[in-house]
Protein backbone atom coordinates (compact mmCIF):
# COMPACT_ATOMS: atom_id res chain seq x y z
CA UNK A 1 0.00 0.00 0.00
CA UNK A 2 1.33 3.38 -0.97
CA UNK A 3 0.91 6.56 1.01
CA UNK A 4 -2.06 8.58 -0.22
CA UNK A 5 -1.29 11.85 -1.98
CA UNK A 6 -3.24 13.79 0.67
CA UNK A 7 -1.38 12.15 3.56
CA UNK A 8 1.96 12.66 1.83
CA UNK A 9 1.22 16.33 1.15
CA UNK A 10 0.09 16.95 4.74
CA UNK A 11 3.23 15.18 6.04
CA UNK A 12 5.50 17.27 3.81
CA UNK A 13 3.76 20.41 5.09
CA UNK A 14 4.37 19.35 8.69
CA UNK A 15 8.01 18.53 7.92
CA UNK A 16 8.47 21.96 6.33
CA UNK A 17 6.96 23.75 9.33
CA UNK A 18 9.12 21.79 11.76
CA UNK A 19 12.17 22.41 9.60
CA UNK A 20 11.48 26.16 9.75
CA UNK A 21 11.20 25.96 13.51
CA UNK A 22 14.14 23.67 14.27
CA UNK A 23 16.41 24.07 11.24
CA UNK A 24 16.49 20.37 10.44
CA UNK A 25 14.13 18.10 8.52
CA UNK A 26 12.68 15.61 11.01
CA UNK A 27 11.88 11.98 10.33
CA UNK A 28 8.97 10.20 12.01
CA UNK A 29 11.08 9.19 15.01
CA UNK A 30 12.19 12.78 15.58
CA UNK A 31 8.58 13.99 15.39
CA UNK A 32 7.52 11.35 17.92
CA UNK A 33 10.42 12.41 20.16
CA UNK A 34 9.19 16.03 19.99
CA UNK A 35 5.64 14.97 20.87
CA UNK A 36 7.01 12.97 23.81
CA UNK A 37 8.91 16.02 25.05
CA UNK A 38 5.77 18.13 24.67
CA UNK A 39 3.56 15.66 26.51
CA UNK A 40 5.94 15.03 29.42
CA UNK A 41 7.57 18.43 29.80
CA UNK A 42 10.80 16.46 30.15
CA UNK A 43 13.82 18.76 29.98
CA UNK A 44 17.31 17.46 30.44
CA UNK A 45 20.56 18.35 28.72
CA UNK A 46 21.70 14.75 28.13
CA UNK A 47 18.98 12.26 27.27
CA UNK A 48 19.78 8.56 27.30
CA UNK A 49 18.70 6.15 24.59
CA UNK A 50 16.23 4.59 27.03
CA UNK A 51 14.74 7.99 27.85
CA UNK A 52 14.36 8.74 24.14
CA UNK A 53 12.54 5.44 23.68
CA UNK A 54 10.31 6.22 26.67
CA UNK A 55 9.48 9.65 25.21
CA UNK A 56 8.63 8.11 21.84
CA UNK A 57 6.45 5.49 23.57
CA UNK A 58 4.52 8.26 25.35
CA UNK A 59 4.07 9.98 21.98
CA UNK A 60 2.76 6.85 20.27
CA UNK A 61 0.31 6.23 23.11
CA UNK A 62 -0.82 9.87 23.01
CA UNK A 63 -1.40 10.03 19.26
CA UNK A 64 -3.15 6.63 19.17
CA UNK A 65 -5.35 7.60 22.12
CA UNK A 66 -7.15 9.89 19.65
CA UNK A 67 -8.61 6.76 18.03
CA UNK A 68 -9.32 4.93 21.27
CA UNK A 69 -6.38 2.53 21.21
CA UNK A 70 -4.94 3.90 24.47
CA UNK A 71 -6.33 5.81 27.43
CA UNK A 72 -4.44 7.99 29.85
CA UNK A 73 -4.44 6.43 33.30
CA UNK A 74 -2.65 9.32 34.97
CA UNK A 75 0.80 10.64 35.72
CA UNK A 76 3.40 9.10 37.99
CA UNK A 77 5.30 10.92 40.73
CA UNK A 78 7.74 12.33 38.18
CA UNK A 79 4.92 13.70 36.02
CA UNK A 80 5.24 11.09 33.28
CA UNK A 81 1.93 10.04 31.71
CA UNK A 82 0.96 6.37 31.79
CA UNK A 83 -1.41 4.88 29.26
CA UNK A 84 -3.45 1.69 29.19
CA UNK A 85 -4.13 -0.11 25.93
CA UNK A 86 -7.87 -0.21 25.30
CA UNK A 87 -8.10 -2.14 22.06
CA UNK A 88 -5.77 -4.17 19.89
CA UNK A 89 -3.95 -2.42 17.10
CA UNK A 90 -4.62 -3.81 13.64
CA UNK A 91 -1.93 -6.01 12.16
CA UNK A 92 -0.17 -4.03 9.43
CA UNK A 93 2.92 -4.32 7.30
CA UNK A 94 5.58 -1.75 8.16
CA UNK A 95 4.82 0.88 5.45
CA UNK A 96 1.10 0.81 6.31
CA UNK A 97 1.92 1.02 10.02
CA UNK A 98 4.12 4.08 9.39
CA UNK A 99 1.31 5.80 7.47
CA UNK A 100 -1.14 4.92 10.26
CA UNK A 101 1.15 6.61 12.79
CA UNK A 102 1.80 9.59 10.50
CA UNK A 103 -1.94 10.15 10.09
CA UNK A 104 -2.37 10.17 13.88
CA UNK A 105 0.63 12.50 14.30
CA UNK A 106 -0.91 14.93 11.82
CA UNK A 107 -4.20 14.82 13.74
CA UNK A 108 -2.27 15.53 16.96
CA UNK A 109 -0.65 18.63 15.46
CA UNK A 110 -3.99 19.81 14.04
CA UNK A 111 -5.56 19.48 17.49
CA UNK A 112 -2.63 21.38 19.01
CA UNK A 113 -3.27 24.23 16.56
CA UNK A 114 0.12 23.86 14.90
Give the pLDDT confidence of 63-100 residue by residue, as tens digits.
Answer: 999 999 999 999 998 889 999 999 999 999 999 999 99
Provide the domain limits for residue 54: 5-111
* pLDDT tier at 3, thresholds 50, 70, 90: low
* pLDDT tier at 1, thresholds 50, 70, 90: very low
* pLDDT tier at 44, thresholds 50, 70, 90: confident
Kindly report the average pLDDT of the chain as a whole number. 93
Q: Mind spelling out the 3-state secondary structure of 27-47?
A: CHHHHHHHHHHHHHCCCCCCC
Q: So what's the pLDDT on residue 79?
A: 86
Overall domain count for the chain: 1
Q: How large is the angle between the packed helices 5-22 and 28-40, nearest 10 degrees?
A: 60
Nearest in space to 89 (alpha carbons), one of 70, 102, 109: 70
Q: Compute φ and ψ for 83, nearest 5 degrees.
A: -115, 155
If 0-12 CB within 10 Å is exposed, 13-18 middle and 19+ buried, where does residue 68 land?
exposed
Can you say whether the dihedral through the CA atoms of 31, 32, 35, 36 is positive or negative?
Answer: negative
Amino acid sequence: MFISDDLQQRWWTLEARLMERFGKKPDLEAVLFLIGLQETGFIQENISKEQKQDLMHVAVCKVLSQSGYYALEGNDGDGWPHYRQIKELPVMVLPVQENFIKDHVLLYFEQQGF
